[in-house]
Structure 1
Amino acid sequence: MRYFYVLITLFIFCISSSFETNVDSKMVLKKPRVSPRDGAEPHVLLETRNRTSTPKHGKSSIAEDLTQFIQDISVDERDLNDFYSISISPTRLRRLGEYYTERQNELVTVFRSSWDELGVDGEVDWLLIRGYLKRQQDSLRSIWVQLKDLEPVLKSWAPPLVELCEQREEVIRFEAKDAAQALSDSGRAVDALASSIRAGDLKSTVSEFAAYRAVSAVEELQSHLTEWYGFYATYDPMFDWWVKQEWQQFPSKLSELVAAINEHLVGIKPGEDDAIVGQPVGRDGILADLQAEIIPYSPEELIKIGETEYDWCEKEMIKASQDLGYGKDWLKALEYVKTLHVEPGEQIYLVHELANEAVEYVTKHDMVTIPRIANETWRTTMMSPAAQKVNPFFLGGTLIQVSYPTNSMSYSDKMMIMRGNNRYFSRSTVFHEMNPGHHLQYYYISRYKTYRGMFTTPFWIEGNAFYWEMILWDRGFAATPEEKIGMLFWRMHRALRIIFSLKFHLNLMTPQECIDMLVEKGGHERATAEGEVRRSFNGDYSPLYQAGYMLGALQFYALRKEIVGRGSMTERAFHDAILKQNQMPIEMLRALLKGEHLNWDHKPSWKFYDGSHKDTKSHRG
């Protein structure tokens, strides 16, 4: 496997030398195509852009050039990822590393020297793209570490097949006999590896989460190989003569390998798909993510915030419980509210009723602009039973996906899902997912400052949607005890998300302990708690994603006090401005809305949390 380790050596060299391109071409899988633009010097790029852009008032603005620079990166990145699409390929990592380093150098050499000309908008954009490029480079290094963890599962058979797929992308001539040999050799290696896994030989060397990622890597490579075979088969007679027989058996070998990994390394038995697999990132990993999100708090401080918010929620729950006659046993009151669900077939109509209620309320109180198209074009779909195991509640954005039982579910599953999506839980979910929440966000971010879409963060997109739950609570949108319990359930849930997600990544809680916390302290159905934890840790979400809901909302809540509460903006103007600035860490949004200039070496500094839960008349709009 000399070839594989040569690739490893090359990648490490590229990382340490800022991805310099003067590498011996014999050491790489292939030489990627480089356009004239990619090889140009930064000052040439800027001069070309200045010549082709439309000048304003007789000269080009450096801030406009920076906007174009960000737009270029967004499109370049899409094209590079589309072309270098095999996630386990060292060639992909090297090419992306080269690109991010080139753009980072250009950002410093061209734009930082003109800092005084950027204005607040440009300063924010410069800091956003600098942070983005750094995060992408850090991500490549993280992926590299993850690939090292996958070596025991991939190195004996995958590299030659990755090379075949990459040669196909560039349509490089190859000998069909050599491709057949690669498939034959890899097939034998896959058989031997599967046998070794079934015998328990890799159990001590491959972690559960590495094995979980390995399954995805194998399935992804199988998809690329299927496309590779279809590209040449029947069109190239020599390819068919050499390769067809070897290929016929190969996909089943990979399927058997996946089954062996799942059963013996991940712990998912045949016919099961419910394993909760996660990998804590550790305190350093959380701190790095907090730095990228421009949040000046430690993980321990954030957990304390979550605990403080939970305590407030519990006190309010007790008040509502007492109003319903259940005394201080708010869990009994919560159980009563769960029974207030609609009958099968009625949930989709309830969703529309609740959506209209929310829009009418925020419109009546002049809280935000909801354009007609944003209100009339959202669609409703139903979530599959399999999807409900991961997302037991609604999902939304461009459309709303309703979570509700199907006739294929067991009685107990049907009841848990109906109880978890009762009328009063759904009331908050609908306006969080649609208007004025995610659906309205998507309307604006696809129309205003669209180049900032690449700076997406859960603290903005999820925090802003949950923030609406907080300010509508302050206004009295929850008038009855049942409505209060419905809103408090979600608020308590978001506080617990801060606690359990950060404690998991600090190695202080196991997935099972997270489930138990949601059931015992949040009043969740066990099935919905399992779905929540599975969703949180299966690798699709960043470590801070679940904490971002409430922490982002608290940032927006504090910013509202600073701006609307002091009379700098009306409530509607404030909410419209948030949406029109598009996505970004909230500390950057704060600088934009307050018109505060920033330094190029800006560090997180905004301490947004004071523990206050009382709105004031001055910022009710």
Structure 2
Amino acid sequence: MRQKTEKSYSPRPGPAMSREANEAEPGQHESMRERIERVSEDLNDLQSFYNIEISHTRKARLKLYYEEEILELERADFKSYDQQGKIDFLLLQNYLRRGLKQLGLDDKRDKKMEPLLPFATTIVKLCEDRQMVKPVEGQQAANHVFQVSKQIAELKSTIMEKKVDKATGFRAANSVGRLRAHLAEWFGFYKGYDPMFTWWLSEPYSKVDRELGEYASLIKQELVGIKLGDEDAIVGEPIGRDGLLADLESEMIPYSPEELIEIGKKEYIWCEAEMKKASQDLGYGDEWRDALEHVKNLYVGPGKQPVLIHFLTTEAIDYVKKNDLLTVPKIAEETWKMFMMSPARQKVAPFFLGGRSILVSYPDDTMDHEAKMMSMRGNNIHFSRSTVFHEMIPGHHLQYHMFARHKPYRQLFDTPFWVEGWALYWEMILWDKGFPSTPENKIGMLFWRMHRCARIIFSIKFHLGQMTPQECIDMLVDMVGHERATAEGEVRRSFNGDYSPLYQAGYMLGALQIYSLRKELVETGKMGEKHFHDRILRENMMPIELLRVLIKEEKIEPEFKSSWRFYEDNEKEDFPSS
């Protein structure tokens, strides 16, 4: 057991003691780092204890916590903090406000699915009473479970009368699955320990457990359009324009969704022009898709992919060290590991994944011929070259190494604009420095850059309700040149996984932010390139605009508003006319 840090004694607060009376004095001496670490642990505890996402109790408790912490933060003496402390203040304030706003958005979406879940309140109460260790009476609990069964039976007979959109139906089906799991935990807690509970509940529980599973499947089939057993279907939950605007405000991106789509289109035009140049060098003229097909067929044979990945990882490390672009700690260089990705996981992540280790995509002997060819073509030598340094060094592996060692408390403020933006930024910088020395290498790098442009467009349009998942897949095939299987995997990962709505847009947009900041600081001679890169890694995660304020030591106030129009300084002068 870990030894607790010693604290000065204070009496346990009684009912009449307010939080302010009990904690005001200790709070006055709490540093911003301590406050952030405390909030992180508080939220971990609250979200673990109040663990039913659609529960009104959970929402109310989290809302109260966010409001209390925001109020406490407003009482802090902002002017007394140094620049690092002020940045931490803004990061925490933004995080708490975002959490509060997200509760409201989630509540609106949950209300839309209430007609499909009239029994949810009963299940939630049973589970929360168990969590609070309230006495349970077997016969009464059996009556509640029996009523849930009756409600499900009625819902099954009237399912086609429910007027909900596919996204709401998908959310409801997933919620039923989670309620089923919570009810299983409730039943398992008492089963065998409380004889009367077991006597009353064994049959009703077994029946309702089966019915919940059947009902979730029925919603997917009849309201969402997912056939039974079709585990590869892609649906997702569009959050709408208001949801996007709320997320953009929290990410400190002062652009509208429509403006970001235009940025994606402009960046794509530049990529296509460069792709045509590389295609001409290979003798394909302007038919860059033919040149891309040539590159796709430059893959290694079975069993040879790990050797290739090891070589490419070492190549990238040697390049950044030789050119003194950033510090590569010896331990980071020494301790990266490689694993092969399973065929099942490749359906969601058809390319490599990285961080502390690199997960390599390549077919195994269980995959059919078509799947094997798509995996090999999609992970060819030149596509892999960019993927490797994106995932390892100077990309994600180096990030993981550094943010575990420098201001680790800022990991609470995880953002794809910093995490993925940094890795894609290196694709831009290494391109500028001539790292791709052959037309094949250039096409490999440009493929990924075009892919990130398309990600901005299709992900935002999906959440605006302007594109379906199938249209997103078609865009990746037609606009970027993806294999259809890898396009499906990318869209499935974007909308059916655990990624935030702006995650896919964060790659290119975050990279453009860091690229613009580099122009301000490195190209003007205000900072050395190596110092610039090392500084970013040592500051850990945050919105890039706050990173800019921190590094430039700009004056900031508690009510900071995002205003950095980073793309205006970043637009390429040689864009072809569209």
User: Which bin holds the TM-score, normalised by the shorter protein?
Assistant: over 0.9
User: What residue is the counterpart of 2:6 in the other structure?
Assistant: none
1:89-238 to structure 2, matched below 5 A, reads 89-109=55-75, 111=76, 114-155=77-118, 157-197=119-159, 200-202=160-162, 205-238=163-196
After superposition, the CA RMSD in angstroms is 2.1
* Number of corresponding residues: 562
Residues 1:614 and 1:442: Cα distance change in structure 2 (over 3 Å): farther
Query: What SS is found at the alignment partner of 2:161?
Result: coil
| Cα deviations by residue, 1:453-506 (Å, 9 ceiling, x for unpaired) | 111111100101100111011111100111110000001111111122222223
Give yes or no for contact 1:93–1:140 (8 Å, CA) kept in 2: yes
Query: What SS is found at the alignment partner of 1:87?
Result: coil
The answer to whether the aligner puts 1:48 opposite 2:26 as a matched pair is yes
Distance 1:537 1:107 in 2: 35
Alpha-carbon distance, 1:611 to partner: 4.0
User: What residue is the counterpart of 2:4 in the other structure?
Assistant: none
Which amino acid in the other structure matches residue 125 of structure 2?
E
Query: What SS is found at the alignment partner of 1:509?
Result: coil
Alpha-carbon distance, 1:227 to partner: 1.6
1:421-432 to structure 2, matched below 5 A, reads 421-432=379-390
Give yes or no for contact 2:422–2:514 (8 Å, CA) kept in 1: yes
Give yes or no for contact 1:331–1:523 (8 Å, CA) kept in 2: yes
Q: Could you tell which deviates more after superposition, 274-283 or 554-563?
A: 274-283
Normalising by the residue count of structure 1, what TM-score does the alignment of the two structures yield? 0.87
User: What residue is the counterpart of 1:84 in the other structure?
Assistant: 50
User: What residue is the counterpart of 1:607 in the other structure?
Assistant: 565
The answer to whether the aligner puts 1:355 opposite 2:318 as a matched pair is no
The answer to whether the aligner puts 1:344 opposite 2:299 as a matched pair is no
Distance 2:147 2:42 in 1: 37
Query: What SS is found at the alignment partner of 2:351?
Result: coil
Distance 1:500 1:532 in 2: 11
Normalising by the residue count of structure 2, what TM-score does the alignment of the two structures yield? 0.93
Query: What SS is found at the alignment partner of 2:158?
Result: helix
1:259-298 to structure 2, matched below 5 A, reads 259-298=217-256
Query: What SS is found at the alignment partner of 2:354?
Result: coil
| Cα deviations by residue, 1:138-170 (Å, 9 ceiling, x for unpaired) | 111111111111212211x22212111111112
User: What residue is the counterpart of 1:557 in the other structure?
Assistant: 515
Alpha-carbon distance, 1:384 to partner: 2.5
Alpha-carbon distance, 1:39 to partner: 7.0
The answer to whether the aligner puts 1:526 opposite 2:484 as a matched pair is yes
Query: What SS is found at the alignment partner of 1:390?
Result: coil
Give yes or no for contact 1:445–1:580 (8 Å, CA) kept in 2: yes
Give yes or no for contact 2:167–2:236 (8 Å, CA) kept in 1: yes
Distance 2:141 2:114 in 1: 22
Alpha-carbon distance, 1:311 to partner: 1.0
Residues 1:447 and 1:219: Cα distance change in structure 2 (over 3 Å): same
Distance 1:101 1:43 in 2: 17
Give yes or no for contact 2:515–2:570 (8 Å, CA) kept in 1: no
Distance 1:342 1:43 in 2: 68
Distance 1:170 1:377 in 2: 45
Residues 1:552 and 1:38: Cα distance change in structure 2 (over 3 Å): farther
| Cα deviations by residue, 1:185-233 (Å, 9 ceiling, x for unpaired) | 2122223323433xx232xx12211111122211212222222222111
Match of 1:541 among 499, 504, 514: 499
Alpha-carbon distance, 1:42 to partner: 4.2
Give yes or no for contact 2:267–2:453 (8 Å, CA) kept in 1: yes
Distance 2:329 2:228 in 1: 50
Residues 1:39 and 1:138: Cα distance change in structure 2 (over 3 Å): farther
Which amino acid in the other structure matches residue 533 of structure 1?
V
Distance 1:37 1:46 in 2: 17
User: What residue is the counterpart of 1:26 in the other structure?
Assistant: none
Query: What SS is found at the alignment partner of 2:353?
Result: coil
Distance 1:485 1:268 in 2: 37
Gaps of 5+ in 1: 1-33, 51-59, 616-621
Alpha-carbon distance, 1:256 to partner: 1.0
Distance 1:422 1:94 in 2: 51
Which amino acid in the other structure matches residue 132 of structure 2?
E
Give yes or no for contact 2:284–2:290 (8 Å, CA) kept in 1: yes
Give yes or no for contact 1:46–1:65 (8 Å, CA) kept in 2: no
Gaps of 5+ in 2: 1-11
